[in-house]
Amino acid sequence: MSFRILVFYGSYRADRMGIRLAQFVVDGLRDKGQNVELIDAKAVGLPMLDRMFKEYKPGDAPEAMAALAAKIRAADGFVFVTGEYNWGMQPGLKNLTDHFLEEWFWRPAAIASYSAGRLSGARAATAWHGTLSEMGMVVVSSTLAVGPIAQALSAEGKPTGEAGQSLARAFPRFADDLLWWVEAGREQRARKAPPY
């Protein structure tokens, strides 16, 4: 069974290393037969949050925002690929996410974190867990944590060295956990309308 999965990535830096992890996740989910799209916050280019999508009158929201809202609503699940900036979230990904609310409801999300160091973005992943839950998503317990990212993935997002092999071994459980919840969520939404 194929599901529609959106993989969100949010670094705006010139020498973005996390795009390697985003590509690894996209490729891995596609290898499992899923319909996956990478949503790159930098490429989408939403402004700093002034109005949420729902605060625009129908037809008045910026085109990129309206198109992304439709993709989020049509998705079965999400993966958030996040780096850690000073113990916290990347502002680009958080800004993109905050433009929407009801669009996220009643779908599962998974978190893949990374850093240049050995802590693998774990503190950012912890911060995202509460944020995504508050925004109406069920956050799966399996995570990916990669660090140092430059030693784990090639520029094309392929595992390298011992860290890369560890990542490759962790991915099946991560994907299977997400896909189990994606299937459960889709079946429940088809069986019974969400309560709000």
55: confidence class by pLDDT, cuts 50, 70, 90: very high
Of 8, 39, 21, 11, give the one whose Cα is nearest residue 171. Answer: 21
Residue 118 has pLDDT above 90, yes or no: no
Q: Given this model, what pLDDT does residue 49 score?
A: 97
Starting at the edge strand that comes first in sequence, how are the strands of the sheet with 35-40 ordered? Answer: 35-40, 4-9, 77-83, 107-114, 137-146
Confidence (pTM): 0.96
Residue 196 has pLDDT above 90, yes or no: no
Q: State the number of CA atoms in the 13 A half-sphere of 144 facing the CB.
A: 37
Architecture of domain 4-191: 3-Layer(aba) Sandwich (3.40)
Q: Give the residue extent of every domain in the chain.
A: 4-191
Higher local confidence (pLDDT), 180 or 116: 180
**In whole numbers, what is the pLDDT of the chain averaged over residues?**
96
Give Rg (Cα) of the chain. 16
Residue 35 has pLDDT above 90, yes or no: yes
Q: Given this model, what pLDDT does residue 192 score?
A: 95
Residue 67 has pLDDT above 90, yes or no: yes
Q: Given this model, what pLDDT does residue 117 score?
A: 86
Of 162, 151, 155, 159, give the one whose Cα is nearest residue 16. Answer: 155
Higher local confidence (pLDDT), 116 or 23: 23
Q: Given this model, what pLDDT does residue 60 score?
A: 97
For residue 95, give the 3-state DSSP assignment.
helix
Q: Given this model, what pLDDT does residue 119 score?
A: 86
Round to whole Å and give the CA distance between 2 and 30. 9
